[in-house]
Copies of this chain bind each other. A is one copy, B any other.
């Protein structure tokens, strides 16, 4: 790979990406464009602008954007239509944010004439894969620079030395080592590494930042009603809201009740296991509610097909294949299923749990006329079950007859 001339860097404003910024300038003598996104991670973006300027980035090369609505509308919600869960439990909060960041990096590269993009993910994790697969899928000729796989700043000490040597301001609390590493966006906060590396040891309380301890949550359950249209939530307790606003509101509910904590050991795409603490307060409520509305609006053929392809869909997102033909094909299948997933769900929130307790819809397929224990006025003919069972049993009888025949 020839040296890049102009690089768009995914820039948080923090110490690590500031070091990367400087390293890119130093290593390649290249122009750097910074991209700082508000994905709902809960940090001020203004300091990032100031810091970029301080590090010599030209004002026209500083991109700071609020992309929360796009994030929730075009990435989070489509994923939740699938009830996507990785390895049975993880709601993919980090995975789903990466392709959007890459998309903006590539778009900004096109606008600014940059020939490369750079990110701050390490060589051990999934995020490097997600950033880079998305980038290459959108621009096959882009150069991707992953300094953590390239440089020799392999210890905390060396990083700090580099920062000092290059006049990069170091916040006092960054002098020491953080006891664990954090990623956050509007959907979730994940924590991993350091004090969490031994999966036999419980995570310390201070790791949980996004949700209140369920022990201290309200002592009485709270009910909320979430309305859906075509698979996406559109209102809470009757109040219509934008996608990002809904997720924000659900996060507040979830935080208060301590909902969405997960202590998890997962299989990374790069082949190793890792342990993380995930907090997905609003997403956990949303998943529960979405399942609730699907229960009455999706028929079994549609539902079972969705269930059967879900693990593959989730794996694709986890592994970084958001921008791939197979993810798009599965999305077409999923979206097709959601045409009637419209209605309202009542969810009970209490001490760490969200539980559907009622649901209704004009699109409901539930037929009290059929299921009733009372006289059903001919809606359902019980003698039909006889033939249904006989024909389902036929092959089993033939198998049993063979067994008997061969044994005698």
Spell out A's residues near B (CB within 8 Å).
Answer: 83, 87-89, 122-124, 128-129, 132-133, 136-140, 146, 148-149, 154-155, 181, 193-194, 197-203, 214-215, 219-221, 261-267, 270-275, 291, 295-296, 298-312, 315, 320-321, 323-326, 328-330, 332-337, 340, 346, 350-353, 355-360, 362-368, 370-373, 375, 380-402, 404, 406
Contact = CB atoms under 8 A, between A and B. Distances in A.
Contacts of A334: 329
12 contacts: A133-B389, A133-B396, A181-B373, A199-B360, A271-B300, A273-B367, A273-B371, A307-B311, A324-B396, A329-B337, A370-B394, A385-B387
Contact of A295 (B265, B332, B386): B265
A181 B391 CA distance: 23
A371 B330 contact: no
B202 A358 contact: yes
A325 B334 CA distance: 11
Contact of A321 (B128, B129, B301, B356): B301
B305 A308 contact: no
Contact of A326 (B220, B261, B302): B302
Given A272-B370, A380-B124, A214 B351 contact: yes
A406 B363 contact: yes
B128 A392 contact: no
A271 B392 contact: yes
A136 B397 contact: yes
Contacts of A221: 215
B351 A353 contact: yes
B181 A400 contact: no
Nearest to A122: B382
A197 B372 contact: yes
Nearest to A217: B351
Nearest to A300: B267
Contact of A351 (B140, B295, B352, B382): B352
B194 A373 contact: yes
A214 to B, nearest CB: 6
A325 B297 CA distance: 12
